Amino acid sequence: MRLSAFDPWAFAAFDAQAMSHLLGGRYDEACLAAYRSVQANPAHSITHVQLAAALAKLGRPAEARAAAARVVELHPTFRFGRQFASVDCAPALAKCLGDALRAAGLPE
């Protein structure tokens, strides 16, 4: 995929890639897409959620906790259970993300 570095919505494409890779068990690719999304829009909390999940799945707990801390810094009332409910998250994705986000230290 070719994205302009100047496209203000480029992060959304990387977010979609990260979610797809997470669900598919491709955690290295998910991590790369999430990092790119963070670079494109460092103020978007969900981008950091995806990064925390990918890092947790890769067995990198210190980095996952750092990404989770950034989520809470950007969105102090964040709860992943509430987020999943608000977007009608598919059960398989909620399970995949929930386990990882719990491991990263994000509140349910």
Q: How far apart are CA 74 and CA 61, in angstroms?
A: 20
This prediction has a pTM of 0.90
Per-residue pLDDT of the chain (108 residues; tens, 9 = 90+): 555 666 777 889 899 999 999 999 999 999 999 999 999 899 999 999 999 999 999 999 999 999 999 999 999 999 999 999 888 888 888 998 999 999 999 999
Domains and CATH numbers, the chain: 10-104 (1.25.40.10)
Q: What is the pLDDT of residue 70?
A: 98
Q: What is the pLDDT of residue 6?
A: 64
Q: What is the pLDDT of residue 4?
A: 63
Q: What is the pLDDT of residue 99?
A: 93
Q: What is the pLDDT of residue 10?
A: 80
